[in-house]
Structure 1
């Protein structure tokens, strides 16, 4: 009865994961060609990394990539679990960090020349590579705790493991170490979410002021959204959606860790939330980027001419 009830949800997850991978792959190739080509936007390099991270999150989180790879190489289950959990936690941390960086960069970009943030415009571009290296190093290093406290599932009753998936479980952890890891994780996430909300509020104020000034000069019918305004609206939408999805995911994870129990329904809902942001992000970016829209229209027109 329980498995029959979960089957439709699993089909939804597979569809969501497939859509997320395809959309992110399309976006990744677009950003790579744009960066290697001419005149990429300053945010393209950030978005390219975010897209790559989201592809990895969907593939690893759904056991789409690693399960078949490990089975074909006959690698033991314990190594598979440690690798999967480590990579997924690293990618999850990178997702929140890079989303925050994207929000900060856009806030600096749209800030007036008279503001305090204006002096950071050139510095942020200059030290962007250093920022990326710090973000990647911190998340890859911090997630190493998953290597020690995750293993192949054996017997819950005998070893006091908490089963997370069919073949993987969390191992018992010292209360002090667990508290320390939890404190660092929540401090990092609360800080980054706070920065995202602050920069989003700042961008909304800038957009509101700009729109009010434009109404005094032009009629509403003459107003057109600038590329900066469209980019800002897109990032605002992504940040708001990310914050909502993150806290739902956090509440489920926190409840499961505190109760030392992972319910299958909770796990499915959590996976749905984890897939939601990586899946919706590329769809929002594709639909709001004029370069992609123009490219798709050109492809469509060429395709229709070839059949005419």
Structure 2
């Protein structure tokens, strides 16, 4: 085994272990809050979908890449080659969808702070929850293409009409079909990414206006309600910025992999490693920004309050 393959395998192994432990820790954190306080923030349910998607992404991408990089080839049969990439595609779509919907919900929330907008915010939350489930269904439909085009490597058979994708093969098509296939896979992502960027820009503008307003107001006159909302908004903005950069790199690499006749080893690995960055970092980012987790670790001997007063 080459040194580069061994280092790559250890890198994927480390990302996989860290990502699984971090996401399960955050999931247990939300379950603990629900069981002890019987109340979750409006965004917590969406975050739980994001956590499940992160776990699926890490398992479906990290585990096969670790095993393959350590020298084990042809680890999947036809069913595995069709199922694992499909689940990974669905979980990746759920990640971008959940992050996008969190951004939209928070942008609408900080724009409607008045009491007369409470009912509107409740309706927005219901629409966001329905959109999250619909997002899973849409990506389930899109990922069904993997069942048709992916297959395993069967011994010494001819691979003239097959494109190698590490431990699996994809059926070759003419350039036009490949372009249409890439558009289909990335079209929904671009829509959700556009919503995410629009909501993030709206939140940045709202925070800037709020900061300008604070310059002309005494601290004693500032509503205490603005602090949790601003903190939640900044958390989601950090989450979005952490998501966009590796997602952009991964998308560009995957687009080149889809269009190239024989994608290079480094390009394939760069696409897969960048796709693992966000699911690995996300739980630690959320835990560090969650005041409930901070208070628990600082005062774990105190029983938590029955209801959380902070609303994101």
- Contact 1:60-1:66 within 8 A present in 2 as well: no
SS in 2 for 1:169: strand
For residues 288 and 228 of structure 1, the distance between their equivalents in structure 2, rounded to whole angstroms, comes to 13
Tell me the CA shift for residue 175 of structure 1: 4.9
Q: Tell me the TM-score normalised to structure 2 length.
A: 0.84
- 2:56 aligns with 56
Q: Give the alignment of 1:107-256 within 5 angstroms.
A: 107-113=107-113, 120-154=120-154, 158-165=159-166, 167-173=167-173, 175=175, 177-218=177-218, 226-256=227-257
Distance of aligned partners of 1:5 and 1:127 in 2 relative to their CA distance in 1, 3 Å threshold: closer
- How many residue pairs match? The answer is 293
* Structure 1 residues not aligned, in runs of 5+: 68-74, 303-308
Tell me the CA shift for residue 118 of structure 1: 7.7
- 1:42 aligns with 42
Distance of aligned partners of 1:35 and 1:108 in 2 relative to their CA distance in 1, 3 Å threshold: farther
Distance of aligned partners of 1:123 and 1:163 in 2 relative to their CA distance in 1, 3 Å threshold: same
- Deviation track 1:136-181 (CA, whole Å, cap 9, x = no partner) reads 111111110001111102458543212112x311122355543333
* Structure 2 residues not aligned, in runs of 5+: 68-74, 304-312
Tell me the CA shift for residue 133 of structure 1: 2.5
- 2:297 aligns with 296
SS in 1 for 2:109: helix
Tell me the CA shift for residue 298 of structure 1: 2.4
Q: Does 1:4 align with 2:3?
A: yes
- Contact 1:97-1:192 within 8 A present in 2 as well: yes
- 2:30 aligns with 31
Q: Tell me the TM-score normalised to structure 1 length.
A: 0.85
Tell me the CA shift for residue 40 of structure 1: 0.9
Tell me the CA shift for residue 233 of structure 1: 0.9
- Deviation track 1:50-91 (CA, whole Å, cap 9, x = no partner) reads 001001100111236998xxxxxxx97111111111111111
For residues 193 and 106 of structure 2, the distance between their equivalents in structure 1, rounded to whole angstroms, comes to 15
- Contact 1:59-1:65 within 8 A present in 2 as well: no
Question: Which structure is higher in helix share?
Answer: 1
- Deviation track 1:93-150 (CA, whole Å, cap 9, x = no partner) reads 1111111111111111111357xx9874121223344223311111111110001111
Distance of aligned partners of 1:28 and 1:159 in 2 relative to their CA distance in 1, 3 Å threshold: same
- 1:18 aligns with 17
Indicate the RMSD between aligned Cα atoms, in angstroms: 3.1
- Contact 2:249-2:274 within 8 A present in 1 as well: yes
Tell me the CA shift for residue 281 of structure 1: 0.9
- Contact 1:103-1:199 within 8 A present in 2 as well: yes
- The structure, 1 or 2, with the larger RCO (C-alpha pairs under 8 Å, 6+ apart) is 2
